[in-house]
Amino acid sequence: MFRFASPYFLGLLIFIIPVLFFRFRLGTRGGRIRVPSLDGLEPVSRSAGVVIAQWVPLLKIIGLVLLTIALARPQWGDKKMNITTEGVNIILALDLSESMRALDFKRDNKIVTRLEAVKGVVQDFIMKREGDRIGMVVFGSNAYTQLPLTRDYNTISFILGRLKIGAAGPRTAIGDAIGISLKRLEDIQSTSNIIILLTDGKSNSGELSWQDAVKIAAQRGVKVYTIAVGTKGEAPFLVDSLFGKRYVYQKVDVDLEALKSIADQTGGSFFQASETKALERIYEMINQLEKTRVDVEKWVEYKEYYPRFLAAGLLVYLFYLVLNNTRFIRIP
């Protein structure tokens, strides 16, 4: 966050620059000798010293401009935030199973995997939250905590960008994902706890069934928003073959009824997204639904940068004075 602490000093530039520049232009024209005629006089080439001498006054302009900017006190600030209430605890439960390799989404007009599309949308969602704690659980054949609840949104974004498909196994353990998410929500108490569960598959792995996990979530008053991602039926995958990489269509089995049931039993909502714009709208809806009044005190800590401009201005102006009074001194 950049600003000038005393911006009114910049008004001096309105007078300084035109006056000095006008004088500089007059100086670069050089002297003239009035003679009756130029016939018979051979042109004399200008030496390097003469050329440099014409530009020495420009150092004066630069030096005074830098000193004027120093008077305006340029500052760069970092925004700080002091949270005085708890806000919302949000767990992002993201599917990393092999089916997330399906290439049926577009991002910036490029075909991308489901996971890459999800990363971009979730990243925007994170940066729109303010004062909430956000954690991350990833799941495939197994589920584990990728990041505990935190308000360090930059770290969440960093971790999100490095998620890899298949890191938790090829299958889908929805029950374990909800169970681990509930465990993380126990770490820090809050008046509002939600889980945003995103998957493109059917629960076919894990130790805890999704039915049992949902009962626990409902008992604890934790809302679960479920998002079914991807096109229905077959989806294109890029696979290796004897003839190199090629596209093949494979069926992706997502259990829509289970995801609807999870949302209904916990007081959340069910969504289905088959393309990136729909996914963006879903996270925007969740962002609007889950708002808690948070008393946030903001301030900005500014760092002064005027010493740099002051030092540069003095050096340039001193350099001008030395040159103007020694090698390039002007004698009337």
Residues 149 and 228 both lie in one domain: yes
Residues 68 and 173 both lie in one domain: no
Residues 170 and 310 both lie in one domain: no
> What CA–CA distance (Å, rounded) separates 326 from 332?
15
Query: What is the predicted pLDDT for the residue at 271?
Result: 93
Residues 206 and 284 both lie in one domain: yes
Which residue stretches of the chain have pLDDT < 50? none
> What CA–CA distance (Å, rounded) separates 225 from 298?
30
Residues 181 and 213 both lie in one domain: yes
Whether 329 is covered by a domain: the verdict is: no
Nearby residues of 300 by Cβ (< 8 Å), 6 or more positions away: 1, 77, 78, 79, 80
Residues 138 and 94 both lie in one domain: yes
Whether 40 is covered by a domain: the verdict is: no
3-state secondary structure of 229: strand
Whether 19 is covered by a domain: the verdict is: yes
**Domain that residue 198 falls in:** 85-289
Query: What is the predicted pLDDT for the residue at 191?
Result: 79
State CA 56 to chain mean position distance.
44
Q: Given the DSSP bridges, would you call strands 270-273 and 223-229 parallel, antiparallel or unpaired?
A: parallel
Helix (H) or strand (E) holding 87: none
Residues 193 and 257 both lie in one domain: yes
Residues 18 and 164 both lie in one domain: no
Query: What is the predicted pLDDT for the residue at 79?
Result: 64
> What CA–CA distance (Å, rounded) separates 150 from 312?
43
Q: What are 135-185's pLDDT values in tens digits?
A: 999 999 999 999 999 988 889 999 999 999 999 999 999 999 999 999 999
pTM of the complete model: 0.63
* Both structure tokens of 242: 């004897």
State CA 82 to chain mean position distance.
21
- Number of domains composing the chain: 2
Residues 180 and 313 both lie in one domain: no
Contact 179, 213 (CB under 8 A): yes
Whether 37 is covered by a domain: the verdict is: no
Amino acid at 281: R
Residues 263 and 198 both lie in one domain: yes
Whether 210 is covered by a domain: the verdict is: yes
Q: What are 95-142's pLDDT values in tens digits?
A: 999 999 998 888 888 889 999 999 999 999 998 887 788 999 999 999
Whether 294 is covered by a domain: the verdict is: no
